[in-house]
Amino acid sequence: MIGKIKENLKLGAVALTMVAATTMMAVTAFAEDYPSMDLRLAHFVPSNTAGAQWEQWWADEVEKRSGGKIKTKIFWAGSMGGPKEILKLTGNGAVQLGVTAQGYFTREMPVAGNASLLRVHGTPQDAVDTWKRWQEDPQTRADMDKNGVIGLYHQGSNPYRLFCTKPVETLADLEGLRVRVPGAPYWVEFLSAMGVVPVSIPYSEMYGALQKGTVDCSFAAHEQAISGKFYEVAKYAIDLNLGSQPTWGVFVNKKMFDQWPENVQRLMREVSDDLMKTGAAENVKLAEKIISVDFPKHGVTYVEFKETEEFDKKSGSMIDLWAADLKERGYSDAVERLEPFIREKQANFKD
């Protein structure tokens, strides 16, 4: 699977070179103006997790475009802090950069931490668009400032779908299923309405939970299911589309970032923007390849879910849960600003 990802990244790198040729030429011409910097980046997942290769790409690209002067060492798999610790470690300067999911921080970042909404974002680019819109909001900026960080980018995943130990085709099949869910808000309420029994466990424990029968299914983008080798313990991929998600991204210590030279700030933002565009496009290609090549190779059966319309009627919209929760917590102004944006995304959602 890693070899296949690298193949896709080579294609993406060619496209990116064409798009960013002018920027690359300008950066190369003034590379000597960049200060020498050795940065530490704390990452919450292993390097072989699908999507993690983009952080390595980001670090490599910053180094290359700075003429080799800005180097970033990545500490993988929580070796410099767990997923719920990295925000604080980055904010207090223990590390300059940290990668974790905003969904872990719904109290620290009540608006930005609540962007993982099911059946809202049809594509990885849609999920990235929502993250960008969230970062522009004054409430998000205030929350980031309070935590001492700046969000440089967020990845947009392929649509989350079920990976199960048994076929699931109807609402009746969902009834009573024990399903792993991440720590993101509203997922438990949303899925409980379907008769599902949500089980909140970390990503790192998904394989074991499926293997031991602790859960019957887990939500994952196809590429995560392959890189995590879930196909060894769960042979059914269910095409119930829960939508793309803003998964994780790079936070940078705000105080340090503000003190860095303007050209360093600009370089990091340019590389981050390029990553979001290229990564979203490459994810779409990757999902198509996994269905046609990797699933058959690993003996995975792709199962059609036959009652998607009935699912929507029974579950309702997760946006309603999001709006009600934030209003109750005193963020009505943010809801008023952001709800039209995500309603529009949901209106364009296609299975």
Of 281, 279, 280, 290, nearest in space to 57 by CA: 279
Q: One-letter amino acid identity for 235?
A: K
Cα–Cα distance, 242 to 264 (Å, whole number)? 38
pLDDT of 30 strictly over 90: no
In the DSSP assignment, the letter for residue 51 is T
- Residues 255-264 have pLDDT tens digits of 999 999 999 9
Better-predicted residue by pLDDT, 41 or 8: 41
Of 202, 153, 158, 160, nearest in space to 54 by CA: 153
239 pLDDT band, cuts 50/70/90, is very high
- Regarding pTM above 0.85, the answer is yes
pLDDT of 4 strictly over 90: no
- Residues 70-128 have pLDDT tens digits of 999 999 999 999 999 999 999 999 999 999 998 889 889 999 888 889 999 999 999 99
pLDDT of 5 strictly over 80: no
Q: What is the mean pLDDT of residues 14-26?
A: 45
Question: Is-contact 197 218, C-beta < 8 A?
Answer: no
Of 21, 50, 36, nearest in space to 283 by CA: 50
32 pLDDT band, cuts 50/70/90, is low
pLDDT given at position 350: 92
Domains of the chain: 2-157+247-289 (3.40.190.170)
| Mean per-residue pLDDT over the chain, rounded | 90
Cα–Cα distance, 224 to 174 (Å, whole number)? 22
- Residues 182-236 have pLDDT tens digits of 877 898 999 999 899 999 888 889 999 999 999 999 999 999 889 999 999 999 9
